[in-house]
């Protein structure tokens, strides 16, 4: 199948016309790089997002109080999320568990170190049904806490100690009012949580009623649930199939809610469209490049008519001539593809580097960002595709070259 002698001839004749070969190749290179970079942006986005959401509970629905655009006159009577709302939501069909969620800012003293983190209160009596999984230890009782996976990393790094379980901690609640008051509560870490992909990862999680007691004491107020309401209510459906239906029902009551599924589906389809759109632009660039190859090859045939005729006289078969030109075209495609892929790698590195700088400057943390990502299939696809483009672009010129009449070719000067 591979005729090494004809391949060598093809290579030699490209080499003889280095400049033109390179210029033609540049077209393919740009086209391939265009497609690869654009698809890699989409792929990177998708990977980042799905990576972020992978651990999330696909059956959970986050419920919020409706945002009142129209002001006080709105007929909607749900203003704050309270215990009644929790009870109402629990009554819905297909609900497995419901918990109110309350967040408060605080700090933890572990050993001699002080670590800031969020305090998240949930209904600990239902922890397992809510989808919380323990990495280690047990769920808390009374005012004990468990630590989210990301917070655990911080704690281990700062204390230099990787067994926080059963360690005594002091929870420091801080009121954010006019005068800041701090209260301290002696507590104990009893477990660590598996990642949920949510807020809990960065938080110390404890029972909501106890957290609210602490907050009321710190701020010296009572009934804060009645006045401020919960942050949100999390509804966990019995299975993934009914999540959509349940979300709709909850919204019909008048809440604002969305499920992790919604979020993923939305982002997934945006990224799909983005990839198709960007890949399309690259494809057009490649099409233009393909026309470039065809054009160059036809020019080359005009110039080489005599050479082709002579080669036929001295023993080249029709197939030899055709194959030589096809190989030339596919070499241009292959080299363009490899060059395009190479710059794509460089450019994606640059994109990720720059994006990382911008994001890290704002977030003051060191996150490694993968906005653009070239999966292996994309690299293989890019090379294969550019070779195919080369071959297709070379088909017409190659057949034309093969059909050249010897006598007419020899008559040409």
Partner 1 sequence: MEEIIKLKKVSQHYKMGDSVVYALSEVDLDIYSGELTALVGPSGSGKSTLLNVVGGLTKPTMGDVFIYDTNVKDYSENQMCLFRREHIGFIFQSFNLNPTLTALENVTMPLIFARVDSKDREKMANDALDLVGLSDRKDHKPGELSGGQQQRVSVARAIVNKPKIILCDEPTGNLDTKTGKEILELIKEMNRVNQITFIIVTHDINVANQCQRKISLQDGKIFNDERN
Cβ distance to partner 1 smaller for residue 234 or 304: 304
User: Under the criterion CB under 8 A, does residue 314 sit at the interface with partner 1?
Assistant: yes
Q: How far is the CB of 24 from partner 1 (least distance, A)?
A: 18
Nearer to partner 1, 188 or 306 (CB): 306
Q: How far apart are CA 55 and CA 58, in angstroms?
A: 9
Q: Whole-number minimum distance, CB 16 to partner 1, in Å?
A: 5
Stretch that binds partner 1, among 85-93, 141-149, 269-277, 314-322 (CB under 8 A): 314-322
Choices 209-217, 275-283, 330-338, 403-411 (CB under 8 A): range interacting with partner 1: 403-411
Subset of residues 14 to 33 that bind partner 1, contact rule: CB under 8 A: 16
* Least distance from partner 1 to the Cβ atom of residue 46, Å: 50
Among 1, 2, 5, 18, binds partner 1 (CB under 8 A): 5
**List 281, 350, 358, 406, residue binding partner 1 (CB under 8 A):** 406
Choice between 217 and 320, CB closer to partner 1: 320
**Which residue matches tokens 């034309």?**
400
Kindly report the backbone phi and psi dihedral angles of residue 235, in degrees, each rounded to the nearest multiple of 5, phi listed first. -110, 130
- Pick 318 or 354: Cβ nearer partner 1: 318
CA dihedral (345, 347, 352, 354) positive or negative: positive
307 binds partner 1 (CB under 8 A): yes
Query: How far is it, in rounded angstroms, from Cα 195 to Cα 161?
Result: 20
Beta partners for residue 188, in sequence order: 168
Task: Return d(Cα 224, Cα 179) in angstroms, integer.
Answer: 18
Q: Are 28 and 333 in contact (CB under 8 A)?
A: yes
Among 313, 349, 357, 380, binds partner 1 (CB under 8 A): 313
Which token pair is 357?
């700088």
Instruction: Report strand pairing: 203-207 vs 182-193.
Output: unpaired
Contacts 24+ apart (CB under 8 A), 11-17: 11/327, 11/331, 13/304, 13/324, 13/328, 14/328, 14/331, 14/332, 17/300
- What CA–CA distance (Å, rounded) separates 184 from 103? 17
- Residues, the chain, total? 413
Shortest distance, CB of residue 331 to partner 1, whole angstroms?
A: 17
Residues forming the site for partner 1 (CB under 8 A): 5, 9, 16, 306-307, 310-320, 406-407, 410
């Amino acid at each position: 199948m591979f005729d090494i002698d004809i391949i060598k001839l093809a290579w030699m004749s490209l080499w003889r016309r280095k400049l033109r070969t390179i210029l033609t190749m540049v077209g393919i290179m740009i086209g391939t790089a265009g497609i690869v970079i654009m698809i890699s942006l989409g792929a990177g986005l998708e990977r980042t997002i799905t990576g972020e959401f992978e651990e999330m509970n696909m059956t959970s629905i986050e419920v919020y109080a409706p945002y009142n655009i129209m002001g006080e006159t709105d007929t909607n009577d749900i203003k704050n999320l309270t215990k009644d709302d929790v009870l109402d939501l629990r009554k819905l069909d297909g609900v497995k568990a419901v918990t109110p969620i309350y967040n408060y800012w605080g700090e933890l003293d572990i050993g001699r170190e002080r670590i800031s983190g969020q305090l998240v209160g949930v209904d600990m009596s239902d922890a397992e049904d809510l989808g919380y999984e323990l990495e280690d230890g047990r769920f808390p009782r009374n005012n004990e806490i468990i630590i989210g996976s990301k917070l655990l990393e911080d704690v281990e790094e700062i204390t230099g100690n990787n067994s926080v379980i059963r360690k005594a901690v002091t929870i420091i609640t801080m009121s954010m009012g006019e005068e800041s008051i701090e209260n301290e509560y002696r507590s104990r870490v009893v477990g660590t949580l598996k990642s949920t992909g949510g807020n809990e990862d960065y938080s110390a999680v404890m029972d909501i009623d106890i957290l609210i007691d602490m907050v009321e004491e710190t701020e010296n107020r009572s009934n804060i649930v009645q006045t401020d309401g919960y942050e949100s209510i999390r509804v966990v459906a019995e299975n993934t199939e009914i999540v959509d239906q349940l979300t709709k029902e909850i919204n019909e009551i008048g809440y604002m809610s969305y499920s992790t599924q919604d979020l993923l589906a939305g982002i997934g389809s945006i990224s799909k469209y983005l990839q198709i759109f960007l890949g399309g632009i690259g494809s057009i660039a490649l099409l233009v490049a393909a026309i470039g190859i065809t054009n160059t090859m036809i020019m080359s045939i005009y110039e080489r008519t005599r050479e082709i005729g002579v080669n036929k006289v001295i023993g080249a078969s029709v197939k030899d001539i055709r194959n030589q030109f096809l190989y030339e075209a596919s070499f241009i495609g292959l080299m363009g593809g490899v060059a395009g892929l190479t710059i794509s790698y460089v450019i994606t590195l640059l994109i990720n580097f720059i994006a990382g700088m911008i994001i890290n400057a704002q977030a003051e943390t060191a996150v490694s960002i993968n906005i653009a990502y070239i999966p292996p299939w994309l690299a293989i696809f890019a090379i294969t595709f550019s070779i195919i483009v080369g071959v297709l672009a070379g088909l017409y010129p190659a057949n034309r070259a093969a059909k050249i009449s010897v006598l007419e070719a020899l008559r040409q000067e």
